[in-house]
Amino acid sequence: MKIFLSRSGEIKVMENGNRIGNGRNAINISPGLVIRSGDIINISGHEYIALDYDPIFFRGIAERGAQTIDVKDSAYMIRMSGIKYGSRVMESGTGSGALTSSILSMTGNPSGYIGIDHNPKSIRITKENIQRLNGFDIEIIEHEFSTYEGNGTKYDAIFLDLPEPWMNVAKQREFLESGKRVVTYLPNYDQAEKNVLEYEKNGFFHLETVELIRREILVREGATRPSSEGLMHTAFISTFVKKSGSKLNV
């Protein structure tokens, strides 16, 4: 999928190979026109740069249902999870699929992905967004994660955007290979505190809990400064490693 980004941050999308934009602003272009990433395109008197789809643009072009995870957070969560190309991933609390899109861009492995969500609307929106933007069909099971028993598969990472991710923390050990990680996403201090204590009680090593702050810089000739607007706190990201249960004396 090609997207078109203007200096002001407006995004247009090329659908079906020869249609740019959406709704009444959509325009048709010649099917023979080859547009490469990096090309400058003039659309109705405004300049856009053509780019291939990347999850950093998810919020601007995806169908939105639940609140999406900010790209600064999703990028960090993925690095802390340790996943790579081909990894098997479990996710619960899929929302609109923002984190899902980033996960699949990293792993390239839709058959190794499973989502768990209790909300059928979120499931529909996520599956449609991932099909449209990443080009993958994925499996999302309609179920409460707190009572999910698994399917016997061992995963390389679990991502949880849930109010109480610790509810089945003992069961989560069965979903993971030894040494693999769980990454949780919680907005409040009391949730983050209880979360860490419960995981540590149940055979996980607490790697870290962090809050990420992003500040936009307005770049103008002779007047570059930080923006006075923007959301500072989003959530606390905690990372846990499944302990093997063995203790070695060296």
Distance CA 13, CA 241 (A): 39
Q: What confidence score (pLDDT) does residue 44 get? A: 79
Determine the 3-state secondary structure of 176 from DSSP.
strand
Q: What confidence score (pLDDT) does residue 63 get? A: 83
Q: What confidence score (pLDDT) does residue 23 get? A: 52
Rg (the chain; Cα; Å): 20
Identify the segments of the chain with pLDDT beneath 50: none
- Joined together, the tokens standing for residue 39 give 């090309």
Give me the domains of the chain, ranges plus CATH numbers. Answer: 2-52 (no CATH), 58-242 (3.40.50.150)
Handedness of CA 226, 231, 236, 241 (dihedral sign): negative
Q: What confidence score (pLDDT) does residue 194 get? A: 97
Which residues on adjacent β-strands are paired with residue 250?
Answer: none
Distance CA 45, CA 54 (A): 25
pLDDT tens, position by position, 85-100: 999 999 999 999 999 9
Distance CA 130, CA 195 (A): 29
Q: What confidence score (pLDDT) does residue 99 get? A: 96
Single-letter amino acid code for the residue at 164: E
Count the Cβ atoms, other than its own, within 10 Å of residue 129: 24
